Amino acid sequence: MSDTILILNGPNLNLLGTREPEIYGATTLANIEARCHAHAEKLGAKVDFRQSNTEGELVDWIQQARDTAIAIVINAAAYTHTSVALHDALKATGLPVVELHLSNVYKRESFRHKSFISSVADGVMCGFGAHGYVLAIDAAKQIAADRAGKT
Ligand code: CA2
């Protein structure tokens, strides 16, 4: 398994850096992925970084993570606010889960204040832009180590 952290990105995040930079920043998802790999390497960990516009594909990846990852970081994008399927899949893995958003969803429309992920996440991070991915990797690695009885 090694120390692999699965980082999942939901619908439309493939558009990062191309539209709405005032909300989501000018960084592309490919650039964020590169930052994640570099940061994980410094920690002696790995990341498996994925994006899908399809809810079922995200569910499949969460189910598979049980055998391949030590923790999940998830920016479920719009599915955050709608998906019972992602809620159930994350709950079933038993892995540490960090919910992540680029924007501060609580400063935005009220429909973004409801999350189906938060109640099955160990922690929630939002509003730190692309740097949030680095913070989330640190958190996920620490939670996994704590659970495994390491310091
Ligand atoms: O702030 C976040 O990371 C979000 O998860 C992003 C989602 C949004 O539905 C959540 O409420 C908060 C939207 C991702 C769409 O990303 C785009 C990027 C560039 C252009 C258009 C959409």
The full set of domains in the chain, from first to last, is 4-147 (3.40.50.9100)
Q: What is the pLDDT of residues 8-46, one digit of tens each?
A: 999 999 999 988 888 888 899 999 999 999 999 999 999
Mean pLDDT to the nearest integer, 127-150: 96
Residues with CB under 6 A from ligand 1: 12-13, 15-16, 19-20, 24, 75, 77-78, 80, 101-103, 105, 112
Q: What is the pLDDT of residues 85-118, one digit of tens each?
A: 999 999 999 999 999 999 999 999 999 999 999 9
133 noted as active-site residue: no
Q: Within 10 A of 22 (CB to CB), how many other CB atoms are there?
A: 7
Q: Within 10 A of 67 (CB to CB), how many other CB atoms are there?
A: 8
Which residue is it, tokens 């996920």?
Answer: 140
Q: What is the pLDDT of residue 23?
A: 86
Mean pLDDT to the nearest integer, 47-55: 98
Q: What is the DSSP string of 33-58?
A: HHHHHHHHHHTT-EEEEEE-S-HHHH
pLDDT of residue 1 exceeding 60: no
pLDDT of residue 151 exceeding 70: no
Pocket test for ligand 1, best of 74, 104, 105 (most atoms within 8 A of CB): 105
Q: What is the pLDDT of residues 55-70, one digit of tens each?
A: 999 999 999 999 999 9
- Please identify, by atom number, the ligand 1 atom nearest to the C-alpha of residue 75: 5
- Single out the residue of 131, 151, 23 nearest to residue 77, CA to CA: 23
Provide the strand spans (E) within 10-111: 46-51, 71-75, 97-101
